Amino acid sequence: MMAIACSATPTQEEQNENPFLKVSVSQTNALPDEQGLVSADITLEGLLRATSFNIVKKTNEGETLKKYGKAILKEKFAFQYAVASTDPARIEFEFYLQASDGSRSNVEKLIVDNSAGFKSSPLTFSGFEVMNRITGKEDNGHDGLPKVKYLLYNNTDTRFDVGGTDLGITWEIAPGKYGMFFGDTFGKDFTPNLTNPSPGGSNWRGNVLLFSEDTDLSNGLSITGAAMDYYGRAREICYSAHITDGNNDYTSIPTGAVHAAGKEYVHYMNIKTWYGWVSNFSSYFTSADGGETWNRVRSISFASRSNFGQVGMFNKDGYVYIVGTVTGRSSQPRLARVAEENMEVQTEYEFWNGYGWVKDAEEGAAPLFDDFSGELSFAWFPQHRKWVLLYLNEQRNDQITMRYADNIIGPWSAPQVLTDGTSFWRPYGSFIHPLSLKGGDDIYFVMSAWNAYNTYLIHGKLK
């Protein structure tokens, strides 16, 4: 008997399939890599007719749906997922485009085989030590100022006219040479007002750049030079008009720095008013001669309330990763990246939206974790195979906090408190020194003390 082919009754999904919308995925089955990362390239066709791109995550515990609106959709979507220790053995993702009439594209699937059970090892900070005072007049615990383990007498007040300052954003310019950007800076006559701490004094500069060639921080951090002006004083790098009426150019404060494609970059925020930390914009200055001379990068500008008004930056595997917040200390951190050779091309920046990287869509950047973050820094620690992020949580008694992750996209660990306003009066800023990444368990970072309005080297252990 001859068999007769019969067509199956169309499913509801097939009846609603829109022939003008199409989704293609580079792979349908995947194993997590050694860091638990799964990646796939997704192509989206017919975006003019689509209203959203939908990703459904399915496990034996249920399913979740994320919708990405048309405003942030691009033809190419770089999907990534970092497997968590709590994930089950099988994870299924479905991808489809949806139109306003309820129709949708074909549904493509990616099945993640996690049967091996990815496990993330813990990382713990211990042994908080104040190593030395980096800037200003040497002092060891006078009138409640922080006590230090070593007296190095950097004497930045008399050498560079840097008597009061903060931040100390540190990056590696070249092997054995480190740049350190500081914030609002005042001259050698600066004296802290311990009853009403605040910056102030002569020769106000919004930022200065000091240099260190100290490659052994076990006995403190020494300063070896500065980017100087004609008079032999540390000069302002990122220009500010210093108009303090709250409606103009108040000051320019550095927030992050990195070496990329043979040049130095400092990200800074141009502050309009400190009331609410409102900026006019954020941008870069760059140097092609090791930090001696600098020029504004006119092609980059982040808006006043951008999620990247303040940032930390780190260069890894040809990408500069950028973790940013709105100016201030009251927003969650978000993630971007750019190929290092494209640092000055704003349309090439990609933003992490929770499942993928999208270009020219800053508004789609998703929070990395739910916590208030200020003056953050982060780095890849190869000896631990972890990303480590330090930040201030001002809302929780000025806690200097650490989180870690196997992947830059997360999942990020629970917070660990390194110090707070109880044990170290008004700490802020926690900028990782690159020597922490050279092996071993030592971590060094630069932290500011508001009561001293100066900076200190902090040491601890990561295990």
CA dihedral 444, 448, 453, 456 (to 10 degrees): -10
Parts of the chain belonging to CATH 2.60.40.1930? 17-113
Quick check: 335 and 322 in contact, CB under 8 A? Answer: yes
d(CA 125, CA 413): 13
pTM: 0.94
Parts of the chain belonging to CATH 2.115.10.20? 125-462
What is the CATH superfamily name and number for domain 125-462? Glycosyl hydrolase domain; family 43 (2.115.10.20)
Q: What six digits make up the tokens of 228?
A: 């100087």
Quick check: 457 and 217 in contact, CB under 8 A? Answer: yes
How many degrees, rounded to 5, is the angle at CA 25 between CA 22 and CA 27? 155
The closest of 457, 459, 454, 420 to 142, measured between CA atoms, is 454
List Cβ neighbours of 106 (8 Å cut-off, separation of 6 or more).
Answer: 17, 21, 22, 23, 96
CB-count burial class (<10 Å; 0-12, 13-18, 19+) for 140: middle
Q: Do the bridges between strand 62-69 and strand 76-82 make them parallel or antiparallel, or are there none, so unpaired?
A: unpaired
Report long-range pairs for 115-123 (Cβ below 8 Å, ≥24 apart).
115/89, 115/90, 116/31, 116/32, 117/89, 118/32, 118/36, 118/83, 118/84, 118/85, 118/87, 119/85, 120/36, 120/84, 120/85, 120/406, 122/413, 123/384, 123/386, 123/388, 123/404, 123/413, 123/462, 123/463
Q: Is the CATH number of domain 17-113 2.60.40.1930?
A: yes
Q: What six digits make up the tokens of 420?
A: 């707070």
Per-residue tens of pLDDT for the chain, all 463 residues = 333 333 333 344 545 899 999 999 999 999 999 899 999 999 999 999 999 999 999 999 999 999 998 777 789 889 999 999 999 999 999 999 999 999 999 999 999 999 999 998 999 999 999 999 999 998 888 777 889 999 999 999 999 999 999 999 999 999 999 999 999 999 999 998 887 888 888 999 999 999 999 999 999 999 999 999 999 999 999 999 999 999 999 999 999 999 999 999 999 999 999 999 999 999 999 999 999 999 999 999 999 999 999 999 999 999 999 999 999 999 999 999 999 999 999 999 999 999 999 888 898 899 999 999 999 999 999 999 999 999 999 999 999 999 999 999 999 999 999 999 887 779 999 999 999 999 999 999 999 999 899 999 999 999 9
